[in-house]
Amino acid sequence: MRVLVVTAVPAERDAVTAAGPLPVQLPLPGGAELHRVHPDGGVVFDVLAAGVGPAAAAAGTAGALTAAALGGAPYDLVVSAGIAGGFAPGAPLGSLVVSDEITAADLGAQTPDGFVPVTELGFGTVAHRAPEELVRRVVRATGALRGVVLTVSTITGSAERAVELVARHPGALAEAMEGFGVAEAAVAHGVPVLELRAVSNAVGPRDRAAWRIGEALAALTDAFRALPPALTLPSPEVLR
Ligand SMILES: O=C(O)c1cccc(C(=O)CC[C@H]2O[C@@H](n3cnc4c(=O)[nH]cnc43)[C@H](O)[C@@H]2O)c1
């Protein structure tokens, strides 16, 4: 089972690879590098720190998927992973969230009647679902909370904005900046996609003193230690 894991920054990448033995570094065209670990159960994690935001995430994911396909060893699954803001009270600090619907929250237009997503403008898409059976297995294997992880290009900085997002997405548990970009690249390559986030802060007014990035990174390592049995699939149907 070959899994491409895409994070934003090297600290998140290193938290993922800490789940396995010492990583091997593999170059990608363009200068990026994959960190490869073999945790167990025949699973291989190739971990890429693609950069912050949906555009960098999509570009990095597409490059890694293309390189693998051209090399004759395509990936079976793509996972967008990292830290995230949690929507209180559903996703407390240090909790793990697996997204059953990876959703772009600010892809659309501002109008006098409020925000209108591109789907209501007549084009594009704003959400990609993760394979249902896989989400269930990940919840069982890692204890993750199941819900929507929103992708934003602008980090929420007020309680009012947080309330607006949850009103529009009642199932939202977390907010991050890369999942939808990773998902767009995965879907373009016909590869199933999952998003797995550890909550480092509360979505809302900036309070960096309240951040718990270290705890969130440790939770990410624990999640990827627990993940392989959920990915050892008896049949490809689980990925559909
Ligand atoms: O400077 C701030 O107040 C601030 C508040 C929240 C997040 C940031 C970041 O620079 C984090 C960006 C990075 O981490 C992910 N992340 C973590 N928490 C959040 C969040 O509350 N909203 C959106 N993204 C978040 C994100 O995926 C990025 O990779 C700064």
Per-residue pLDDT tens digits for 125-160: 999 999 999 999 999 999 999 999 999 999 999 999
Which residues have C-beta atoms less than 6 Å from ligand 1?
8, 52, 82-85, 152, 155-156, 175-178, 200-201, 203, 206, 208
Of 114, 97, 187, 186, the residue nearest 150 (C-alpha): 97
Compute the distance between CA of residue 13 and CA of residue 11 in angstroms, rounded to an integer: 5
Element (DSSP H or E) covering residue 17: helix 10-17
Q: Please say whether the structural domain 2-239 has been given the CATH code 3.30.70.270.
A: no
List of residues 6+ apart from 240 with CB closer than 8 A: 131, 192
Q: Quote the pLDDT of residue 40.
A: 79
Are the beta carbons of 156 and 63 closer than 8 angstroms?
no
Q: Is the pLDDT of residue 185 over 70?
A: yes
Task: Locate the ligand 1 atom nearest the alpha carbon of residue 8 and give its number.
Answer: 29
What pTM, to 2 d.p., does this model score?
0.96
Measured in Å, residue 211 CA sits from the centre of ligand 1 at: 10
- What is the residue extent of each domain of the chain? 2-239
DSSP 8-state assignment for residue 29: T
Q: Is the pLDDT of residue 235 over 70?
A: no
Measured in Å, residue 80 CA sits from the centre of ligand 1 at: 15
Of 43, 99, 46, 17, the residue nearest 230 (C-alpha): 43
Q: Is the pLDDT of residue 240 over 70?
A: no
Of 93, 84, 90, 80, the residue nearest 145 (C-alpha): 90
Are the beta carbons of 132 and 233 closer than 8 angstroms?
no
Segment 16-65, tens digit of pLDDT: 999 988 999 999 998 999 999 998 778 999 999 999 999 999 999 999 99
Compute the distance between CA of residue 159 and CA of residue 41 in angstroms, rounded to an integer: 43
Higher pLDDT, 42 or 197: 197
Q: Quote the pLDDT of residue 39.
A: 85
